[in-house]
Amino acid sequence: MGVEGIGASVVRKEDRRFITGKGRYVDDIKIVGLTHAHFIRSPHAHAKVKSIDTSAAKDMPGVVGILTGQQIVDDKVGNLICGWAITSKDGTGMKMGAWPAMAPETVRFVGQAVAVVIAETKNQAKDAAEAVVVNYEELPAAADIRAAIKQGAPQLHPEAPGNVIYDWTIGDEAATEAAFKAAANVVSLDITNNRLVPNAMEPRAAIGEYNEAEEHFTLYTTSQNPHVARLVLSAFYNIAPEHKLRVVAPDVGGGFGSKIFIYPEEMVALWASKKVGRPVKWTGDRTEAFLTDAHGRDHLTNAELALDANNKITGLRVKTYANLGAYMSLFSSSVPTYLYATLLSGQYNIPNIFAEVISVYTNTTPVDAYRGAGRPEASFVVERLLETAARQLKVDPAELRRKNFITQFPHQTPVIMAYDIGDFGASLDSAMKAIDYAGFPARKAKAKSEGKLRGIGLSCYIEACGIAPSKAVGSLGAGVGLWESAEVRVNPVGTIEILTGSHSHGQGHETTFCQLVAERLGVPISQVQIVHGDTDKVQFGMGTYGSRSAAVGLTAILKAMEKVEAKAKKIAAHALEASESDIVIENGEFKVTGTDKSIALPMVALAAYTAHNLPDGMEPGLKEGAFYDPTNFTFPAGAYICELEVDAATGKTSFVNFVAADDFGRLINPMIVEGQVHGGLAQGIGQALLEGAVYDSSGQLLTASFMDYAMPRADDLPSFKLNHTTTLCPGNPLGVKGCGEAGAIGASAAVINAITDAIGNNKLEMPATPDRVWHAIHG
Amino acid sequence: MSTIKLTVNGKAVSADVEDRTLLVHLLRENLNLTGTHVGCDTSQCGACVVHIDGRAVKSCTVLAGQAAGSNVTTIEGISKGDELHPMQLAFRDNHGLQCGYCTPGMIMSSIDIVHRHAGKLDEETVRQELEGNICRCTGYHNIVKAVLDAAGRMKVSQAAE
């Protein structure tokens, strides 16, 4: 490793623009003739739209146009779709209800748009929106899973009787049943996985721009995957053909999954720019973000674990109801199925698993992937069950886990996944050492003498990342391939541009991807530029989510690099009159091994472009592309341990220590990896202690601002102790596994296991607010 | 409409704005100083923090008219030419930012925190003082490190002046 190569904690190249206020986010962009959109949104969770009266509004100052749901239907703009087909256990397909970008007839959640006002200024659009009169006929609403599956519940979509989208199963039901019959002990747990709001700090925004002369559209948008946005907008929503649509995702202020999806507002901004003949900008405010960004989690689960007399796990049975909200968001169907139930084996050798997942519609904001996406829910189920089992069997929770760890790899679980490698014992050892697990009983006793309730909680998570082998996900219902593409351009002067389909919105790709080039060619990262986020520049890409950018995106770059290097070696060999096999690349030079002959990269590049003296038959230029499709998922895993104290008088929780030991395979930039873990832990701890979207029974979102929804703040969190253990991923040449979601996947179970240990009551739901903890202590 | 005159980053400026215009919108829309961000609509997140007459203020809580005649400093105004402010350097060196959206507000708040505590800061104090700035990416771990690091750097740079 060089000072800027793989494994070096290089300070980020992109930081200078952010720390000087020169970042360029969508709302920072101004275009000549720009107009501003403000959406008129339903105040009801379920209602018929009887009429929309725009007569008073349309003549108000600055109004350029008012467009309604009927117009978007009349223009044959496609309904929003879910791109992952799930088949129910009875063989029928999932029941997708129609979701027009603006509702012409029926609204099904508070905040759903029915019309949009476009005006010269944002304030003028807001003022005119106040003058639009929408007449609704309220309908009864089903605001949560229990209300939606009740006999006689309000029905959301005619396509989905009983509000059931699918009833899906995985695993061997009969074998699992037999395992439970033969079990020495059975542990059962009811679990609520609370609904979360992603809340990237930059609200979503979009600018649509139509060029009439060229019949060409441009969309600037807050996207994690601009090419996917272009594909969906053209192939399914009929707004513009792919070759006449450019999608630009410039600096994007966090995503966490919520900016994967193509939302109504982006569709409308683009469509409306042609309707009104002016560029249209929409920037969401925070309340709109709460109401319309896809939410995360929201499961009700019963889970049971079967163990034999030696405390070996023999079976796991899970039944989960998943709330997908009022409509099926782009990848919503896959989250509680293939991203959830396939991880229910956790780190353990469980011979029999059966899971049933019933996804339902409710009159709430659509739910889709949020950091971890199904894997936090799975990890929480498994790790709460393991902890509960240890308490019920009166054995040490670390020992029960260790006894059941998978130790032989590869390991085929009963739920599709084939774990390639890992060392779960090593992670657990590392975390236990870091927190001085052996010394905990003495610390607990001391705390007790001081009137404090101290607890310790473990969580040994595993996740499937590097999403994903295209053929495999295609066979499971995915509507897209999940490869990644890259292009490496060596310019005539020897500087290098990397064009990648991955998108950086905080992950630091502009640094880490350069580190690969520095490692391979020995050039400083200042000579390398990463280009991403623009469909006119980058050939194609599937974007950034599912901790895939290193394992899939960076591997695609590596594949393109290998092609560039091979060609450059041929040119160098020709110039140096040496054999191609004798050429090695060191410190930016192509050298003939065993001699002092060499040629610098810029000279090779120049030769490639002047083409005056190339090997016979060689094409000029030094630029190569690659598509990389992974052969398997990657399996990051680790052990988190939380030690905390609870004040019995107030129910307040205080952290004593939080340690993480992760195995991400090879680390490209340890500083950035640790930053990713910190952020993930904060979101996992936020779920455990603070965050929760609350609807009242009529479907009003009570937590629709930062005043009401408890975001983790600096004084809610501890500093974290991070450790790494390493098994290199055999599935990709870099040996990387991905690190973006781990913290959010593993942290919440560690916290809840610790609190329930401290208070001696296992019944505690997330978020474990002081009120809930106090009641769990005092009844 | 009113004409608002104020000093921003050392320069006298004036802008014609509606009376309901917030300072943050004057900065972003009229002066094109887009480093100051809007992250919420309830004055909770702190992405819009600027300095008014040397004190950290959420520029979404201030009408542009209220800032008339005052001296406003934004994220674009804290470096001296190419020489970055010690707080900017500390955020970069400690990886105190990821997506960058909350960063300008974090830096402006943090400079004020160091000034108010005369450099005498510990982790707990920094965490309490950052209560009004929300970050979704970093888990605050490296932001806290950055502020403590910058407190030392700012002492050194003050001593040098």
Q: In this predicted structure, what is the pLDDT of residue B157?
A: 74
What pLDDT digit, counting tens, does each position of A248-267 carry? 999 999 999 999 999 999 99
8 Å CB contact of B131 and A506: no
Contact assessment for residue A257 and residue A296, using Cβ atoms and an 8 Å cutoff: yes
What pLDDT digit, counting tens, does each position of A217-227 carry? 999 999 999 99
How large a percentage of chain A has pLDDT more than 70?
A: 100
Q: Is residue A187 part of a domain?
A: no
Q: Is residue A238 part of a domain?
A: yes
Q: Which residues of A touch B131 (CB under 8 A)?
A: 713-715
Residue-by-residue DSSP string for A441-486: HHHHHHHHHTT-EEEEEEEEEE--BS---HHHHHHTTBSS---EEE
Q: Is residue A160 part of a domain?
A: no
Q: Count CB pairs under 8 A between chains A and B.
A: 180
Q: In this predicted structure, what is the pLDDT of residue A663?
A: 98
From first CA to last CA, the distance across chain A in angstroms is: 58
> What order of strands is seen across the sheet that includes strand A185-193?
A164-171, A353-360, A313-323, A299-307, A185-193
What pLDDT digit, counting tens, does each position of A560-582 carry? 999 999 999 999 999 999 999 99
- Mapped onto helix, strand or coil, the DSSP state of residue A26 is helix
- CA B32-B36-B42 angle, to 5 degrees, is 125
A residues 26-45 lying closer than 8 A (beta carbon) to B: 27-28, 30
Q: How far apart are CA A360 and CA A363, in angstroms?
A: 10
8 Å CB contact of B45 and A25: no
How large a percentage of chain B has pLDDT more than 70?
A: 99
* Disruptive mutation site among B20, B33, B101, B149 for chain A (greatest number of A CBs within 10 Å): B101
8 Å CB contact of B76 and A19: no
The answer on A447 and A311 residing in a single domain is yes
Q: Is residue A395's pLDDT more than 90?
A: yes
* Disruptive mutation site among A10, A11, A17, A18 for chain B (greatest number of B CBs within 10 Å): A18
Beta strand A47-53 pairing with A106-107: antiparallel
H/E stretch holding A117 reads: strand A113-119
Contact with chain B for residue A79, Cβ under 8 A: no
The answer on A675 and A541 residing in a single domain is no
State the smallest CA–CA distance between residue B76 and chain A in angstroms. 6
Q: How far apart are CA A297 and CA A210, in angstroms?
A: 37
Nearest to B92 among A19, A256, A743 (CB): A19
Name the β-bridge partners of A164.
A360
Across A46-50, A166-170, A321-325, B156-160, least confident range: B156-160
Residue B158 pLDDT grade (very low, low, confident, very high; cuts 50, 70, 90): confident
Contact with chain B for residue A588, Cβ under 8 A: no
The answer on A320 and A343 residing in a single domain is yes
Q: Is residue A2's pLDDT more than 90?
A: no
Contact assessment for residue A749 and residue A734, using Cβ atoms and an 8 Å cutoff: no
A residues 645-674 lying closer than 8 A (beta carbon) to B: 671-672, 674
Question: At residue A510, what is the residue type?
Answer: E
Q: Is residue A26 part of a domain?
A: no
Q: How far apart are CA A719 and CA A657, in angstroms?
A: 8
The answer on A436 and A305 residing in a single domain is yes
Contact assessment for residue A727 and residue A421, using Cβ atoms and an 8 Å cutoff: yes
Which residue in A467, A485, A477 sits closest to A632, CA to CA? A467
Q: How far apart are CA A97 and CA A93, in angstroms?
A: 12
8 Å CB contact of B131 and A200: no
The answer on A591 and A623 residing in a single domain is yes
Q: Is residue A384's pLDDT more than 90?
A: yes
How large a percentage of chain A has pLDDT more than 90?
A: 99
Q: Which residues of B touch A252 (CB under 8 A)?
A: 99
What phi and psi values does residue A371 have, to the nearest 5 degrees?
Answer: -5, 105
8 Å CB contact of A681 and B139: yes
Report how many helices (DSSP H) and strands (DSSP E) chain B contains, helices first: 5, 5
The domain that holds A490 is classified in CATH as 3.30.365.10
Residue B160 pLDDT grade (very low, low, confident, very high; cuts 50, 70, 90): low
- Mapped onto helix, strand or coil, the DSSP state of residue A410 is coil
Nearest to B40 among A20, A30, A286 (CB): A286
Contact with chain B for residue A584, Cβ under 8 A: no
Residue B81: both structure tokens together: 């030419």
Q: How far apart are CA A256 and CA A258, in angstroms?
A: 6
Q: Is residue A5 part of a domain?
A: no
Contact assessment for residue B134 and residue A706, using Cβ atoms and an 8 Å cutoff: yes
8 Å CB contact of A23 and B40: no
* Disruptive mutation site among B141, B142, B144, B147 for chain A (greatest number of A CBs within 10 Å): B141
Domain termination residue (choose one: A585, A608, A628): A628
What pLDDT digit, counting tens, does each position of A20-53 carry? 999 999 999 999 999 999 999 999 999 999 999 9
The answer on A675 and A688 residing in a single domain is yes
The answer on A125 and A49 residing in a single domain is yes
What pLDDT digit, counting tens, does each position of A496-512 carry? 999 999 999 999 999 99
The answer on A743 and A620 residing in a single domain is no
The answer on A520 and A404 residing in a single domain is no
> What order of strands is seen across the sheet that includes strand A280-283?
A63-68, A113-119, A35-41, A280-283, A205-211, A216-221, A245-248
* Disruptive mutation site among A15, A26, A199, A201 for chain B (greatest number of B CBs within 10 Å): A201
Residue A401: both structure tokens together: 């886990």
8 Å CB contact of B95 and A28: no
Nearest to B40 among A505, A671, A706 (CB): A706
What phi and psi values does residue A495 have, to the nearest 5 degrees?
Answer: -75, 160
Q: DSSP assignment, residue A51?
A: E
Question: At residue A437, what is the residue type?
Answer: Y
Contact with chain B for residue A253, Cβ under 8 A: yes
8 Å CB contact of B47 and A17: no
Question: At residue A744, what is the residue type?
Answer: A
8 Å CB contact of B75 and A23: no
State the smallest CA–CA distance between residue A346 and chain B in angstroms. 25
Q: Which residues of A touch B37 (CB under 8 A)?
A: 25, 201-202, 253
Domain termination residue (choose one: A628, A653, A685): A628
Nearest CA in chain A to B47: A201
Domain termination residue (choose one: A594, A612, A628): A628
Q: Is residue A194 part of a domain?
A: no
8 Å CB contact of A286 and B126: no
Tell me the C-alpha to C-alpha distance, in Å, between residue A491 and each of A239, A316, A495, A595: 36, 57, 5, 28
State the smallest CA–CA distance between residue B86 and chain A in angstroms. 11
Q: Is residue A279 part of a domain?
A: yes
- Mapped onto helix, strand or coil, the DSSP state of residue B68 is coil
Contact assessment for residue A335 and residue A299, using Cβ atoms and an 8 Å cutoff: no
Nearest to A711 among B47, B134, B138 (CB): B134
Nearest to B131 among A201, A683, A715 (CB): A715
Nearest to B101 among A202, A678, A680 (CB): A202
Contact assessment for residue A34 and residue A27, using Cβ atoms and an 8 Å cutoff: no
Which residue in A498, A473, A488 sits closest to A631, CA to CA? A473
Question: At residue A688, what is the residue type?
Answer: A
Instruction: Please give the torsion angle defined by the CA atoms of residues A377, A378, A384 and A387, in that order, rounded to the nearest 10 degrees.
Output: -150
Q: Which residues of B touch A505 (CB under 8 A)?
A: 99
Structural domains in chain A (count): 3
What pLDDT digit, counting tens, does each position of A46-88 carry? 999 999 999 999 999 999 999 999 999 999 999 999 999 999 9
Q: Is residue B161's pLDDT more than 70?
A: no
* Disruptive mutation site among A20, A127, A293 for chain B (greatest number of B CBs within 10 Å): A20
The answer on A637 and A624 residing in a single domain is no
Q: How far apart are CA B27 and CA B47, in angstroms?
A: 13
Residue A240 pLDDT grade (very low, low, confident, very high; cuts 50, 70, 90): very high
8 Å CB contact of A23 and B35: yes
Nearest CA in chain B to A283: B38
8 Å CB contact of A714 and B93: no
The answer on A684 and A604 residing in a single domain is no
Q: Which residues of A touch B141 (CB under 8 A)?
A: 675, 678, 717, 719-720
Nearest to B134 among A21, A27, A201 (CB): A201
State the smallest CA–CA distance between residue A251 and chain B in angstroms. 8
Q: What average pLDDT does the segment A297-301 reach?
A: 98
Q: Is residue A1's pLDDT more than 60?
A: no
Residue A363 pLDDT grade (very low, low, confident, very high; cuts 50, 70, 90): very high
Nearest CA in chain A to B34: A28
Residue A765: both structure tokens together: 């739901």
Nearest to B41 among A15, A30, A287 (CB): A287
8 Å CB contact of A714 and B34: no
From first CA to last CA, the distance across chain B in angstroms is: 43
Q: How far apart are CA B161 and CA B158, in angstroms?
A: 5
The domain that holds A227 is classified in CATH as 3.90.1170.50
Ramachandran quadrant class, B69 (left: phi over 0; alpha: psi -120 to 50; beta: rest): left
Contact assessment for residue A358 and residue A166, using Cβ atoms and an 8 Å cutoff: yes
Q: In this predicted structure, what is the pLDDT of residue A779?
A: 87
H/E stretch holding B157 reads: helix B141-160
Tokens 């919503």 appear where?
Answer: A332
Q: What average pLDDT does the segment A721-731 reach?
A: 97
Q: What is the CA radius of gyration of chain B?
A: 15
State the smallest CA–CA distance between residue B151 and chain A in angstroms. 17
Q: Which long-range contacts (CB under 8 A, 24 or more apart) does A395-401 make?
A: A395/A311, A397/A458, A397/A753, A398/A428, A398/A432, A398/A437, A398/A458, A400/A311, A401/A347, A401/A348, A401/A428, A401/A458, A401/A460
Look at chain A and count its residues: 779
Q: How far apart are CA A280 and CA A36, in angstroms?
A: 6
Which residue in A337, A354, A352, A379 sits closest to A463, CA to CA? A379
The answer on A454 and A369 residing in a single domain is yes
Q: Is residue A196 part of a domain?
A: no
A residues 209-228 lying closer than 8 A (beta carbon) to B: none
Question: Over chain B, what is the mean pLDDT?
Answer: 96
Contact with chain B for residue A721, Cβ under 8 A: no
Q: How far apart are CA B89 and CA A19, in angstroms?
A: 8
8 Å CB contact of A705 and B88: no
Question: Over chain A, what is the mean pLDDT?
Answer: 97
Q: How far apart are CA B141 and CA B123, in angstroms?
A: 10
What pLDDT digit, counting tens, does each position of A178-202 carry? 999 999 999 999 999 999 999 999 9
Domain range holding A423? 296-468+632-778
State the smallest CA–CA distance between residue A237 and chain B in angstroms. 30
State the smallest CA–CA distance between residue A200 and chain B in angstroms. 6
Q: Which residues of A touch B95 (CB under 8 A)?
A: 11-12, 671-672, 674-675
Tokens 């220590």 appear where?
Answer: A657
